[in-house]
Structure 1
């Protein structure tokens, strides 16, 4: 990302003046005082590619067919159900899962998804819309920032680069928190860079209400290291007005929840933050180098031009006190320092690097407008050739150890072949664009790969969704209960499919020893306390045997596909309704008495989010 340090050229337009900068993808300049930005007016006879149109097409691709595949358990199913219960009860303060307090994550994403469900009903698209809208807002923010720094077309290019990288695409379409977190951390960093510390602290406050302290850690790690490198006082980051606004936004919800649940502060700061960072208790441990192969794929294909001038890192570092080095150093600090922190963190998942991807989009834009296209093009032609051929090879070969359903095995080859052809064509476009000095070809070549994925992967996503969700189990369960008069209940036997309550439109009871089946650390940590509540959905682990023997009301029993003891007992007494690689459903049993077992709490409906 760092590039050759150069003084600001005298003909560079002032930030925010609206002067239109023509992006010329010229051969890279090796002179140590090469211009960073070329600012001649655009040619009326050969206008630059319509970048706004490309950004619009990329935005359409990001949101294409959001409702076309099922929720992917566990994360999407759980988060969608929390939002559904919030919309159903119209209770927008304390999130609930299966009727129990769910304080593993703060409120913002759940509230946004619940609001979408109030408007559009409890659908997959409504659950995913906040992530998609947050991604669009991040694109807009990058367009604004790059426009102010390098001109109008550079702004559109930055937005396009972010919209057409792999990880932003994946999490714009997933009902989890990371796209919203990335919007907040990006806003904080670019607003600090634009001398707007109050707005930056407001963004971090919203981020803290989305995913906790990490929303503060990432911007301060990036900006603090940049300040130390450039000799800028770190205390400038801590604006009194900004800190006051942070408290005014973040503290009210935290205080209200802490009053209602006094254990919440300790859980947030000790269990969810300190233990997650320093211990292996969350079972997400991976080697220190875990993110090294993930980051190139996450930022593909724009990571190639983003790193086009990395060879000049020494010159940039030597001139780090020079104002001209500030931008490349900021982008480097934005990626490297948080990446080191995440690598030291004991809890690792691929999406944790999403807040670093906007820096790669800005670095790619900066290098391209500075004339770093030819080196990047040579590298990209080679990478795309290898990647394209590898994808095409999947049409004839799939790794045997991979466990796939028949539908997934049938869907992968055509999707891989089509995407492989697109990747190969993309390399040709980038290479021709660099050779012929045609930025139209180069930019489209980089953008087309990720833009094509939603259109080429529809069948595969349906197959994966059918495998990873509980929609099929829910259909069989709902039909059986309907045949029993619609008055029955569902009992999970040491099992809780996260998306099942969402598709059924109601919580379910669970016979459990630890509560871990609900995939909530907060509920598992408090399982005995919650089990003692009146009407708790958490029942003793052996309760299912009593329910099977007495059958106080029509009950559908669900257990894990590998739970042999439960399956043998249930199969001997009840018909099998449905089974897949994850769960088996039996019943319903026929009542033998009028007494009823404990029912999971369903709050009174006041919103429009219930099914």
Structure 2
């Protein structure tokens, strides 16, 4: 009887996680061609363009294609391989399908990690939160490094938590290998040294301390070297590119596409962005509240070994990323599954009536938000619609003014005289003279996005005239 009940519970769990994965897949694979193959995300265009230029066996070095490439090379090779296997399919769509698969894997790993640390119910609820989280659904529609990076980070944390509890050498090897793959996507995951170091320090002592450390570090180095050989072969170039991107992220190097973050508050801005857009207010408040609750509990009583591993990633990563000048919401993607776990833990510790109401409320809000978000993919991208309007309205040879550092429209500018307004230039009489000259000769002015006015209108000290 007990055995049949156990089987029944296991069947119920796997049915629920399968249902969650099906729902997550539907949200992630729906509308992959959301921009008609345009490649509207600038990072995605960059990554896909470099990957498409790689060729076996004579052109495998990404620096031969893009000398300033600063991301890890693993996503490039994955897309190049997948593209070669899917001959005749648009490489952009192949990449987005890969990203959707990676994020689907993140949902599964969230369940596995939460179940190991906090139990099955927390695992199922946390996986549901990630499955419905708009930030994950959105990033699954771009082939950028963020979704694969998050997948490998969670794998590293899963095996690090096992290492902390078991002390097995196999877990040390696997934790290191997954961390090396995460590092092969983006170097900011070097912070994984903290949870892996915590796991190695607090694990039950089965062997000499140095042996698991060597295995973990060796596996990480091997995984990185195998997936980023040209980063090691061209180490000065790799470090130069990393240093440049680090300076941009910290605000030490001024570039137009990060000026939108001028005047934004460290920590507060990225958290509010998650509450407004990424998670939604209901899930976001529960998730960050869950993190605060877990820290409070850790202060009051020593956490279990696996809990230390999660905190050793969540707190340093939030402290580091939240302090950056550049605060793109996707930078927190490697943290959001842990926030979902902490939020699920918090809700399941509430009293029964409150627990049921809160879970239903958060899941309902998250489902409605994700459905509303994917509904956007039913309509043509605004740039496609704007271009079609211009094709119908603008005479051949018409002069079209577009903003500097934004996507030029119409998309096919053949037969049009497209001029660029230098809005990001410093405020000088020459700048305004050039703008006045262009506008005087222009038939149509195109503002493709908020990149220009959204950033410069909030910086009157530097752009007094433009801000007006």
Q: TM-score, normalised by structure 2?
A: 0.68
Q: Deviations over 1:513-558 (max 9, x none)?
A: xxxxxxxxxxxxxxxxxxxxxxxxxxxxxxxxxxxxxxxxx99765
- Name the structure, 1 or 2, with higher relative contact order (CA <8 Å, separation 6+): 1
Contact preservation (8 Å) 2:103, 2:147: yes
Q: Does 1:167 pair with 2:33? A: no
Q: Deviations over 1:241-261 (max 9, x none)?
A: 2222222232356553565x6
Structure 2 counterpart of 1:193, from 122, 136, 161: 161
Per-residue deviation, 1:193 = 0.7
Query: Residues 570 and 462 from structure 1, CA distance in 2 versus in 1: closer, same or farther, beyond 3 angstroms?
Result: farther
Per-residue deviation, 1:240 = 0.9
Q: Does 1:560 pair with 2:426? A: no
In structure 1, distance between residues paired with 2:42 and 2:146: 15
Per-residue deviation, 1:197 = 1.9
Q: Does 1:209 pair with 2:184? A: yes
Q: Deviations over 1:167-207 (max 9, x none)?
A: 22221222321111111211111211111121122122222
Q: Which residue of 2 aligns with 1:534?
A: none
Q: Which residue of 2 aligns with 1:287?
A: 265
Q: Does 1:112 pair with 2:86? A: no
Deviates more, 1:285-294 or 1:82-91: 82-91
Q: Does 1:94 pair with 2:62? A: yes
In structure 2, distance between residues paired with 1:207 and 1:471: 39
Structure 1 counterpart of 2:382, from 462, 466, 480: 466
Q: Which residue of 2 aligns with 1:256?
A: 230
Structure 2 counterpart of 1:319, from 263, 281, 301: 301
Structure with greater helix share of residues: 2
Query: Residues 571 and 250 from structure 1, CA distance in 2 versus in 1: closer, same or farther, beyond 3 angstroms?
Result: farther
- 1:583-598 maps to which residues of 2 (within 5 A)? none
Per-residue deviation, 1:131 = 2.0
In structure 2, distance between residues paired with 1:163 and 1:499: 35
Query: Residues 147 and 339 from structure 1, CA distance in 2 versus in 1: closer, same or farther, beyond 3 angstroms?
Result: closer
Specify the SS of the correspondent of 1:173. coil
Q: TM-score, normalised by structure 1?
A: 0.54
Query: Residues 76 and 255 from structure 1, CA distance in 2 versus in 1: closer, same or farther, beyond 3 angstroms?
Result: closer
Per-residue deviation, 1:344 = 2.9
Q: Deviations over 1:543-600 (max 9, x none)?
A: xxxxxxxxxxx9976542568959978998xx98x973249xxxxxxxxxxxxxxxxx
Q: Deviations over 1:21-60 (max 9, x none)?
A: 9xxxxxxxxxxxxxxxxxxx8599x999945323321321
Contact preservation (8 Å) 1:331, 1:362: no
In structure 2, distance between residues paired with 1:108 and 1:498: 28
Contact preservation (8 Å) 2:54, 2:60: yes
Q: Does 1:363 pair with 2:371? A: no
Structure 2 counterpart of 1:59, from 18, 21, 25: 25
In structure 2, distance between residues paired with 1:237 and 1:167: 40
In structure 2, distance between residues paired with 1:174 and 1:464: 17
Contact preservation (8 Å) 1:304, 1:376: no
For structure 2, which runs of at least 5 residues remain unmatched after alignment? 164-170, 396-400, 424-432, 450-468
Q: Deviations over 1:312-333 (max 9, x none)?
A: 854532321xxx5445444444
Contact preservation (8 Å) 2:114, 2:341: yes
Specify the SS of the correspondent of 1:447. helix
Query: Residues 330 and 204 from structure 1, CA distance in 2 versus in 1: closer, same or farther, beyond 3 angstroms?
Result: closer
Aligned residues: 410
